[in-house]
């Protein structure tokens, strides 16, 4: 029996996440080194502290540890967010905060509460696939806006809004990842952050600011002053701020949060009631304990050094490919290195070749809502070990050279492709 | 600044769950005895076993315990569902199963994948508020179908479908809770289960079967043969089956599951990717350990006796009000006792009076999609202790007598209300 006739229009439009599909593909390949998923390094999870906390929490003294909890979130955790937010420059009241089951749920709540079918959502070009999925599932139309080396082009934003409104369509929000963007690793500059807030006010739109990586700046090239959230200067109440413990504590605990104007948080609360009633009670308490023990600050120190080290190894390994094969903006934090390959390279074809050599990545085109980016690649350096990064990048270099050679007439460089292939 | 103009049509239609609102209200009342939330008794959670399992799982040996996991669910848990489902008569393949973040997420996935705005969803009259919310948030129109003492009226279902289709609207699914329904406690009879499956085939609709309470039959009046799911006899692939560990292990772990035809599960998987990426990794492993240790069977035994004991206490306490004040179908399992009060009683008014006496419940009208049920009340006997049940029901009896007396002319019974108030 066919079920097509039972599916909603939204279901018909749903597409599997490219990143998740990669995960499934890769699972079948032996010795795979994967640069595909943006997973944190599990060796860095605070295992001992969480084990001890779980032992305490499951003593039975706190009956709420395994019971349903408030949709808004575990009260003490919501309280503890106050100093954490203050350290990022964000002042907020309790009524402006909500715990979500990962930031993905935050994006989903945004999609449900702030988007009607056919509304236009402005996003960076490229942007995070999880946001694309959440917005597409709400049947939004996505419009991409190009980025410079210091992030989204504000003049282009103006033109985009004008174009959309001239067509009689609605644009209610811009989605941005200002700190070490997924997938490009870019950081929005100081001046541009200020301009974005002014633009939102002038254009009468909301900004959804997704900030999972802000704590993970790399000391060799960035500091806390560079990652100050837009929300910190949001005097007009234009910013919905999402952040998470997935990258700093552990993603398996599915605990993240939203800070937004109170009327929006109220709607999120009602939407979340029907989505999952509440976020895991034990998970929220584990995070609360970790925060209370000062673990987040300690993790920040460790993780910044750890991931910076991996980025250095990855950059060095790519540089060893020789000149002309790839360019990238140096990541000043976060998990991702964004490669632009010679225009003749199709990353989908490269991926098939790379899987044959037991290495994987996400094709950059998955992050472009305008169908471009065929010769771009997202590499995550967060999960593999340093030796795996070296070996994996060497394999990828081999795949890339093979791919380029396959396009050349035997024995020479091609005038068509505009590139020559370094040997070695 | 007003945010109304930013809200989606879905958000504008969203309403806070009556049950959750009751929870918020009640939180401010001292010494409150609450029969409002359908919470399991935390004294019955398997604390020791879960504490031990958490200690093991957080040793760091299984790196996946705190990492992102597959959207479909933790593999070993999905496997372990096979014998559990078989014990309920349900044969299923791995591709027909999906872990959800509580059954509420299962309902939400149903709403997103199977409902378009203005589609009609058939539900029992009364029905579970969490399902109402999930369907209303997808902008469905809900049509209620009356129940007899053995559940939904199948002839009435036929008439409802004919009516909807005559109006040119679409009906794709019926939502039912066949075992110890929330809120009525009713059990759909054997014969009617068979007729429902035949009806679904003839009417070409899907059935969403929500079964959180099936394991909690009371030995004094029901057995496993009475709770055999519709899904067990679903040879045509018409049933989407939802079940959960929230009532048998612990709801704070937010772990539930769906069994459905593979094409539907595939869509659920894609929808869940964008909803929360995955259900908590530690939570799923805790449940898997509990199942592996045979804990579910052991819990079943304990819980059936425990909750049956509470139901007996509650029934006895209500009977002590004297005749003519309330009637109810005896719950043969589950968490709920459904009171019908004299027609003159408005449960909303009664609730205000009851809160003044530090006792609460959910007004029955919250469960009716047709605006009826003003004189009905849902009482949960699951969470309060037996002495609390006795005391709380005594308080409620007092509130009810006061409410009835307030409607009488001084010193007598009223011909209008058609009832006389027993004193005592």
DSSP string of A111-155, one letter each residue: HHHH--TT-EEEEEES--HHHHHHHHHTTPEEEEEEEETTEE-HH
Quick one: B164 exposed, middle or buried, by C-beta within 10 A (0-12, 13-18, 19+)? middle
Contact check, Cβ <8 Å, B11/A105: no
Q: pLDDT grade, residue B126 (50/70/90)?
A: very high
- CA-based end-to-end distance of chain A: 55
How far is A318 from A332, CA to CA, in rounded Å?
Answer: 17
Identify the three-state secondary structure at position B46: coil
Share of chain A above pLDDT 90, in %: 91
Task: Measure A111 CA to nearest chain B CA, in Å.
Answer: 9
Mean pLDDT computed over B182-206:
97
Residue B424's pLDDT is what? 38
Dig out the tokens for B104 from the structure. Answer: 């509420």
Residue A15's pLDDT is what? 77
Q: Which of these, A261, A276, A227, lies nearest to A247 by C-alpha position? A: A227
Residue of B17, B67, B173 with shortest CB distance to A39:
B67
Contact check, Cβ <8 Å, A280/B50: no
> How many CB atoms are closer than 10 A to CB A417?
15
Residue B422's pLDDT is what? 46
More confident residue, B26 or A71: A71
Q: Which of these, A251, A366, A356, lies nearest to A26 by C-alpha position? A: A356
Contact check, Cβ <8 Å, B252/A68: yes
Minimal Cα distance from A207: which residue of B?
A: B6
Q: pLDDT grade, residue B407 (50/70/90)?
A: confident
pLDDT at B412 over 60: no
DSSP string of B134-188, one letter each residue: HHHHTTPEEEEEEEETTEE-HHHHHHHHHHHHHTT--EEEEEE--SS-TTT----
Dig out the tokens for A188 from the structure. Answer: 């929005």
The count of C-alpha atoms lying within 13 angstroms of the C-alpha of A70, restricted to the half-sphere facing its C-beta, is 19
Residue B30's pLDDT is what? 86
Residue B20's pLDDT is what? 66
Residue of A39, A280, A283 with shortest CB distance to B68:
A39
Find out whether A280 and B280 touch, Cβ atoms under 8 Å.
yes
For residue B340, the surrounding DSSP H or E stretch is: strand B336-340
How far is A304 from A308, CA to CA, in rounded Å?
Answer: 6
> How many CB atoms are closer than 10 A to CB B408?
16
Contact check, Cβ <8 Å, B254/A71: no
Strands (E) located in A289-333:
none
- What ipTM is given for this predicted complex? 0.95
Quick one: A390 exposed, middle or buried, by C-beta within 10 A (0-12, 13-18, 19+)? middle
How far is B26 from B33, CA to CA, in rounded Å?
Answer: 9
DSSP string of A166-198, one letter each residue: HTT--EEEEEE--SS-TTT-----HHHHHHHHH
Residue A410's pLDDT is what? 62
Average model confidence (pLDDT) across chain B: 94
How far is B269 from B25, CA to CA, in rounded Å?
Answer: 36
How far is B265 from A111, CA to CA, in rounded Å?
Answer: 22
Q: Buried b vs exposed e over A73-96: b needs ≥16 C-beta within 10 Å?
A: bbeebbebbeebbeebebebeeeb
Share of chain B above pLDDT 90, in %: 91
Minimal Cα distance from B12: which residue of A?
A: A113
Find out whether B296 and B249 touch, Cβ atoms under 8 Å.
yes
Contact check, Cβ <8 Å, A130/B1: no
- Substitution target in B2, B6, B26, B286 with the highest count of A β-carbons within 10 Å is B6
- The angle subtended at Cα A313 by Cα A125 and Cα A213, nearest 5°, is 45
Residue of A2, A7, A102 with shortest CB distance to B267:
A7
Minimal Cα distance from B37: which residue of A?
A: A68
User: Using one digit for the tens of pLDDT, what is the confidence trace for B157-179?
Assistant: 999 999 999 999 999 999 999 99
> How many CB atoms are closer than 10 A to CB B340?
16
Task: Measure B227 CA to nearest chain A CA, in Å.
Answer: 25
DSSP state of B63: G
> How many CB atoms are closer than 10 A to CB B258?
26
Contact check, Cβ <8 Å, A271/B14: yes
Residue A20's pLDDT is what? 66
User: Using one digit for the tens of pLDDT, what is the confidence trace for B328-364?
Assistant: 999 999 999 999 999 999 999 999 999 999 999 999 9
From chain B, the residues in CB contact with A64 under 8 A are 42, 252
Minimal Cα distance from A71: which residue of B?
A: B20
- Substitution target in B26, B276, B284, B285 with the highest count of A β-carbons within 10 Å is B276
Find out whether B310 and B382 touch, Cβ atoms under 8 Å.
yes
**pTM for the full predicted model:** 0.95
Which of A315-324, B401-410, B411-420 is the least confident region? B411-420
Ranges of residues in chain A with a pLDDT under 50 are: 412-424
Find out whether A172 and A114 touch, Cβ atoms under 8 Å.
yes
Find out whether A65 and B54 touch, Cβ atoms under 8 Å.
no
For residue B206, the surrounding DSSP H or E stretch is: strand B206-210
Residue of B10, B269, B283 with shortest CB distance to A280:
B283
């Amino acid at each position: 029996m066919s079920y097509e006739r039972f599916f909603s229009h939204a279901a018909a439009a749903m597409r599997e996440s490219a990143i998740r599909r990669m995960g499934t593909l890769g699972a079948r390949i032996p010795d795979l080194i994967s640069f595909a998923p943006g997973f944190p390094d599990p060796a860095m999870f605070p295992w001992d502290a969480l084990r001890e906390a779980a032992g305490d929490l499951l003593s039975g003294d706190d009956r709420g540890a395994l019971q349903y909890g408030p949709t808004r979130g575990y009260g003490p955790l919501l309280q503890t967010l106050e100093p954490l937010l203050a350290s990022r420059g964000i002042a907020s009241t309790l009524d402006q905060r909500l715990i979500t089951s990962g930031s993905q749920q935050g994006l989903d709540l945004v999609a449900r509460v702030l988007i009607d079918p056919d509304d236009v959502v402005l996003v960076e070009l490229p942007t995070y696939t999880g946001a694309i999925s959440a917005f597409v599932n709400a049947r939004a139309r996505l419009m991409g806006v190009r980025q410079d080396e210091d992030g989204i082009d504000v003049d282009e934003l103006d033109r985009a809004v004008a174009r959309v409104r001239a067509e009689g369509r609605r644009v209610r929000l811009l989605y941005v990842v200002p700190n070490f963007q997924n997938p490009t690793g870019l950081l929005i500059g100081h001046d541009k952050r200020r301009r974005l807030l002014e633009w939102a006010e002038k254009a009468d739109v909301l900004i959804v600011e997704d900030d999972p990586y802000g704590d993970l700046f790399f000391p060799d090239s960035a500091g806390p002053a560079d990652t100050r959230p837009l929300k910190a200067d949001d005097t007009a109440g234009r910013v919905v701020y999402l952040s998470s413990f997935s990258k700093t504590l552990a993603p398996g605990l599915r605990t993240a949060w939203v800070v937004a104007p109170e009327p929006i948080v109220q709607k999120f609360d009602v939407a979340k009631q029907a989505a999952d009633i509440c976020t895991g009670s034990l998970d929220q308490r584990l995070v609360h304990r970790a925060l209370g023990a000062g673990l987040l600050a300690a993790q920040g120190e460790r993780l910044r050094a750890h991931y910076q080290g991996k980025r250095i190894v990855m950059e060095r390994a790519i540089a060893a490919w020789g000149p002309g094969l790839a360019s990238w903006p140096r990541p000043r934090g976060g998990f991702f290195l964004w490669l632009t390959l010679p225009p003749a390279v199709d990353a989908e074809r490269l991926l098939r070749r790379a899987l044959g050599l037991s290495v994987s990545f996400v094709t950059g085109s998955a992050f472009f809502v305008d169908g471009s980016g065929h010769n771009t690649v997202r590499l995550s350096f967060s999960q593999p070990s340093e030796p795996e990064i070296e070996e994996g990048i060497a394999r990828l270099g081999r795949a890339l050279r093979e791919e380029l050679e396959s396009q050349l007439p035997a024995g020479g460089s091609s005038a068509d492709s505009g590139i020559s292939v370094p040997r070695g």
